[in-house]
Every structure is written in C-alpha cells, then in structure tokens.
Amino acid sequence: MKSTAAILPMGLFSRLLHAASPTPSETEGPFYPLVAQKDKDFDLTQIQGRQGSAKGRVILIEGQVLNADGKPIEDAMVDLWQANAAGRYRHHRDKNRAPLDPNFQGWAIVKSGREGRFRFKTIFPGIYPASAEWLRPPHIHFKVSKSGYTDLTTQMYFPGHKLNNSDLLLMQKSNEEAELMISKRIDAELEAYSYSIVMSVTKIKN
C-alpha cells in the first residue's frame, strides 16, 4: 500500500478559505471508468505491483470538501479520473490516437478526512480533441458523494491555461462559476494546486 506521508511533505498545505457558493456541476463526460481496477488510491503516478512510473509532469492536488456554511464534510467519497499526459483516457470509448500509459493509474477513489481534506499525487493532464474544432483544456473530473448531500460531479481546471477561454463547457458558466472551477496554484517548486468543493444539502421533498 502506498503511503501518503512518503510522498507528501508535512506542513506543505495551508487551510483553505471557506467558500459559501456551491461548486458548479458539470457533465460526467463519456470517459468515466467502467473497468474495475484494484489500485484506486491517492497516488496515480504508480500502479501497485509495477516498477515503472507514469509519464508526464508530476503535480499535487489538495483540497477540502465543505458544506455551504464552510464547515468540513468528513468521510465524503471523492472520486477522481482524468486523461494521461498525452491526453488519452483508459477507456474503450476514447478514440484519441495518443498513446496509453501502462503506468498511469488514471482513477482514484478516496474518502475525505476529519477536516474534509483530500490529497492526490498525479500527472498534469494532457490536452485532447473533443471534436475537430474543439480542444479541451487540461482538466480533472471529480464526483463527490456523502449521505445527506446532493451528489456532485464537476471538473477542475488549471489557472492561466490559454484554452480555458475557448472551452465550450467552461464558457457556459458565469465568470463567478468559472472561477470556482479553476484551481489555485499554492506551491511553485512542487507544482501543487488547491481545489475546494462545496456540496449542497439534499432537499427533502414534501
């Protein structure tokens, strides 16, 4: 089992500002993983039992799952999946001719901790064509669930990327919504990003 402490320096991450606005939802997309895999831990750069490491630029993502009052949500299920460094998903529906990476995990499911926190070590995702006219900017998919809250599926983008301004999905959001979907760079040397996720309480139907 890969150890969080072995790859993530203690004291690196500071407390996130509490956000009040719910994180905007987004389409799950066609590439949600369907084939079961044994290794779905926080470190996507290595697959348990294999010697090699994933190709590409290693990044760290840390965040916090909060409710609308800014309070942490403990034990929320955080489901993450993404394209590899070449822009290819490990999915039978992905017709991109970019190469697969046999050492890239590509999918992780972890629980948020006592303060709603989560951490991932992964690869900066590659650009890929959604159509002949549309290049998708680097992004990471999240699906978050917790009893008593409405399941949230969303996409996290990276700050300052030139394709953010022309992405057909991100352009459908208001400026305020788009800002909530773009991560923040928090450490230049280690290339670490923070991303807070705010969930809404499930409304009980009368």
Q: Is 128 a catalytic residue?
A: yes
d(CA 180, CA 60): 19
Q: Is 18 a catalytic residue?
A: no
Q: Which of 128, 157, 193, 195 is catalytic?
A: 128
String of DSSP letters for 149-186 = B--EEEEEE-TT-GGGGG-TTGGGS-HHHHHHHB-EEE
Residue 165 in tokens: 């301004």
Q: Is 193 a catalytic residue?
A: no
Q: Is 91 a catalytic residue?
A: no
Residues pairing with 134 in the sheet: 131
Q: Which of 88, 91, 119, 139 is catalytic?
A: 139
Residue 129 in tokens: 């064509």
Q: Which of 33, 37, 47, 193 is nearest to 124 (CA)?
A: 193
Q: Which of 119, 141, 193, 195 is catalytic?
A: 141
DSSP H or E run through 4: helix 4-7
Dihedral pair phi/psi, residue 7, rounded to 5°: -120, -15
Q: Which of 88, 90, 91, 136 is catalytic?
A: 136
Q: Is 32 a catalytic residue?
A: no
d(CA 178, CA 176): 6
Would you please indicate which residues are annotated as catalytic (active-site) residues?
89, 128, 136, 139, 141
